[in-house]
């Protein structure tokens, strides 16, 4: 019996998004229209004329953050949301507007809403714009309330949202985009629920069970290894970090093997279900945020869920090492020398640099599968957050073409990546006198030295490491999303996998 919470807690039902040019207006409570300043495109929309009339009498100008709710005819409510100057239109302003829709709809207790944006976003075509907008809207009412026990039934009526697709898509393409929206939205939600769940709920064993549930639903094969297997495989890094914890470690392998797959991609995710720092313990303040230290693992699970739902013709192997990092009488200690699965030795100088220890073994394991591309996702370093804050994930890669593709996919789906170097010149910082390397290079270039450490265990010419420490969760509610796990990694990776299946 594990020490964890015994009952399974589920979050409320998600917003259900559909795409349609002709919403059944009599069944819609509230229509939301997103418009730039002095917009002339309103007339092209369904209900264009009455909407234009409402705008004319309202004083609405379309300034950024402007929002006016008017009584309408059918539907009863119309909200106009300003996006600012047309030449300043960005994914960011649109995301903020979409999140505000969710909040307004919840406050006004709308059960059924419709949403229209009459044009594409800069650099995106009609399909990309529609997908992005509908998918963001599907997250707009997200709040992790699984453990809120008051007013349980009155708290969350689910919302249906009809999104009017941007012009230029035929019916077939609309159905296809709708399917993509649902798959990505389900994957993102899985990541958010897993990330937000407390660490006494999502232990390594529970994380593995959730992975198995998602796998079963998606026709994915799941293999879960326990401590004995992990010992047999000589995963010294994972075992060392696990030594301080009363919870058993898990090593989870997910295999999605569609017929006619041309490419094989391995996805590795950091699954530290709680990171106290271990013997090199973290300060108490904000330590609770370290329940999010398994968001890389969650991103792998959510991405594979979406890929399976889309039946992408790409073989995908998900690899997740999972443990807690805690101090105890049996915990690994600074000065210890650990032999990793690959046979390389590591001098521990800081037990809080635990992510790279478990990932070193997982990357070695994944490299042996000889995938065409090897991607890893990890809330790896505070240094990456210092460098990029919450706007972009750090990207490290030994393959310029892969890096270029990932950045391009990220721009298209609103998940920015910024490349940082993984030059050998930095390797001096993790040189050890007592072992092959040390597990920390200190403060300077902390995100870079962490990536270089990982690279020591990668044997794949096309590898990318995404440090999502700054993007995986929001410390506070922001104009674009609620507090907590964001689902980082799913959108960009699904876009990348789709691009592979097309080439
Ligand atoms: N999980 C943390 C990184 C982290 C910090 C994620 C803040 C999100 C927000 C990681 O295991 C860690 O503790 N890294 C250390 C490394 C250092 C000891 C070399 C860090 O970044 O301070
Ligand atoms: Mn740590
Ligand atoms: Zn960590």
Can you give the CATH number for the domain in which 65 is found? 3.40.220.10
Q: What token pair was written down for 429? A: 């910082």
Map tokens 């907590």 to a residue.
484
Nearest atom (ligand 1) to Cα of 446: 19
SS3 for 30? strand
| Residue 270 appears among annotated catalytic residues | no
Measured distance CA(71)–CA(46) in Å, rounded: 18
pLDDT at 155 (0 to 100): 62
Exposure string (b/e) for 460-496, b if CB count within 10 Å is 16 or more?
bebbbbbbbbbbbbbeeeeebbbebbbbbbbbbbbbb
Contact present, 395 and 465 (Cβ < 8 Å): yes
Predicted pLDDT at 11: 82
Are both 258 and 340 inside the same structural domain? yes
Task: Confirm if 450 and 353 have CB atoms less than 8 A apart.
Answer: yes
Residue 78 lies inside a defined structural domain of this protein: yes
| pLDDT < 50: residue spans in the chain | 1-3
Under a CB-based contact definition with an 8 Å cutoff, are residues 192 and 142 in contact?
yes
Residues 33 and 120 in one domain: yes
| Same domain, residue pair 153 and 218 | no
Nearest-CA neighbor of 323 among 488, 207, 214? 207
Write out the two tokens for 98.
Answer: 């979409």
What is the CA(304)–ligand 3 centre distance, in A?
23
Q: Based on the domain organization, do 239 and 156 belong to the same domain?
A: no
Same domain membership, residue 224 and residue 161: no
* Dihedral angle, C-alpha 314, 317, 318, 319, nearest 10 °: -160
Q: Which of 126, 145, 178 is the last residue of a domain?
A: 178
Q: Which of 131, 250, 356, 491 is catalytic?
A: 356
CA 125 – ligand 3 centroid, Å: 38
Residue 276: CB atoms within 10 Å: 24
Q: Are residues 245 and 164 in the same domain?
A: no
Say yes or no: 170 and 220 in one domain. no
Q: Is the distance from CB of 247 to CB of 314 less than 8 angstroms?
A: no
Give the domain extent around 288: 202-502
Q: How far is the CA of 283 from the centre of ligand 2 (A)?
A: 12
Atom of ligand 1 minimally distant from the CA of 325: 11
Q: Global pTM?
A: 0.97
Position 244 in a domain: yes
Q: In angstroms, rounded to a whole number, what is the distance separating the alpha carbons of residues 195 and 472?
A: 9
Domain end (from 146, 178, 210): 178
Residue 135 and residue 211 share a domain: no
- Are 155 and 297 members of one domain? no
pLDDT of residue 1: 41
Contact 202, 250 (CB under 8 A): no
Q: What atom of ligand 1 comes closest to residue 293's alpha carbon?
A: 1
Catalytic status, residue 282: yes
Of all ligands present, the nearest one to the C-alpha of 277 is 2
**8-state DSSP, 383:** H
Within a domain: 381: yes
Tell whether 252 is covered by a domain. yes
Number of domains in the chain: 2
Q: Name residues contacting ligand 1 (CB within 6 A).
A: 275, 293, 350, 352-355, 379-383, 385, 440, 446, 469
Q: Are residues 242 and 289 in the same domain?
A: yes
**DSSP run (H or E) holding 437:** strand 437-438
197 three-class SS: coil
Compute the distance from residue 353 Cα to the ligand 1 centre, in Å. Answer: 6
Q: Do 258 and 133 belong together in one domain?
A: no
Token reading at 176: 């296809």
Same structural domain for residues 214 and 104? Answer: no
């Amino acid at each position: 019996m594990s020490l964890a919470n015994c009952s399974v807690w589920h979050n409320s039902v998600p917003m259900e998004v559909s795409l349609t040019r002709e919403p059944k207006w009599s069944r819609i409570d509230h229509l939301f229209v997103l418009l730039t300043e002095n917009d002339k495109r309103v007339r092209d929309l369904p209900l264009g004329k009455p909407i234009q009339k409402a705008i004319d009498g309202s004083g609405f100008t379309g300034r950024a953050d402007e929002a006016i709710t008017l009584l309408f005819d059918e539907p009863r409510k119309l909200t106009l949301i300003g996006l600012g100057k047309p030449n300043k239109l960005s994914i960011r302003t649109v995301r903020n507007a979409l999140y505000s829709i969710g909040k307004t709809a919840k406050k006004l207790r709308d059960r059924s809403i419709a949403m229209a944006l009459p044009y594409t976003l800069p650099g995106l075509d009609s399909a990309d714009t529609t997908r992005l907008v509908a998918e963001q809207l599907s997250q707009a009412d997200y709040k992790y309330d699984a453990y809120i026990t008051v007013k349980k039934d009155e708290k969350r009526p689910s919302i249906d949202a009809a999104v009017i697709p941007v012009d230029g898509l035929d019916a077939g393409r609309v159905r296809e985009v709708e399917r993509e929206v649902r798959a990505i939205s389900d994957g993102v939600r899985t990541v958010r629920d897993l990330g937000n769940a407390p660490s006494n709920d999502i232990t390594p064993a529970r994380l593995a069970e959730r992975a198995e549930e998602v796998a079963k639903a998606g026709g994915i094969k799941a293999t879960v290894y326990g401590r004995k297997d992990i010992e047999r495989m000589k995963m010294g890094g994972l075992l060392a970090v696990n030594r301080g914890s009363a919870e058993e470690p898990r090593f989870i392998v997910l295999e999605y093997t569609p017929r006619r797959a041309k490419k094989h991609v391995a996805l590795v995710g950091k699954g530290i279900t709680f990171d106290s720092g271990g013997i090199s313990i973290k300060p108490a303040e904000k330590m609770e945020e370290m329940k999010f230290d398994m968001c890389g693992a969650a991103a792998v699970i959510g991405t594979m869920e979406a890929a399976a739902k889309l039946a992408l013709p790409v073989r995908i192997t998900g690899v997740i090492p999972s443990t807690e990092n805690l101090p105890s009488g049996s915990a690994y200690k600074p000065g210890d020398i650990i032999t990793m699965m690959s046979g390389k030795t590591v001098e521990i100088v800081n037990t809080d640099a635990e992510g790279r220890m478990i990932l070193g073994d997982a990357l070695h394991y994944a490299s042996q599968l000889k995938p065409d591309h090897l991607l890893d996702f990890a809330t790896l370093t505070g240094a990456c957050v210092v460098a990029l804050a919450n706007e972009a994930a750090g990207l490290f890669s030994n393959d310029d073409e892969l890096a270029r593709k990932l950045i391009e996919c990220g721009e298209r789906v609103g998940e920015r990546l910024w490349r940082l170097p993984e030059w050998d010149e930095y390797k001096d910082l993790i040189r050890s006198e007592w072992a092959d390397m040390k597990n920390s290079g200190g403060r300077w270039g902390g995100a870079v030295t962490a990536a270089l450490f990982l690279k020591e265990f990668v044997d794949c010419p096309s590898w990318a490491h995404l440090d999502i420490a700054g993007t995986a969760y929001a410390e506070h509610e922001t104009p674009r999303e609620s507090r907590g796990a964001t689902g980082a990694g799913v959108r960009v990776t699904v876009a990348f996998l789709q691009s592979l299946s097309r080439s």
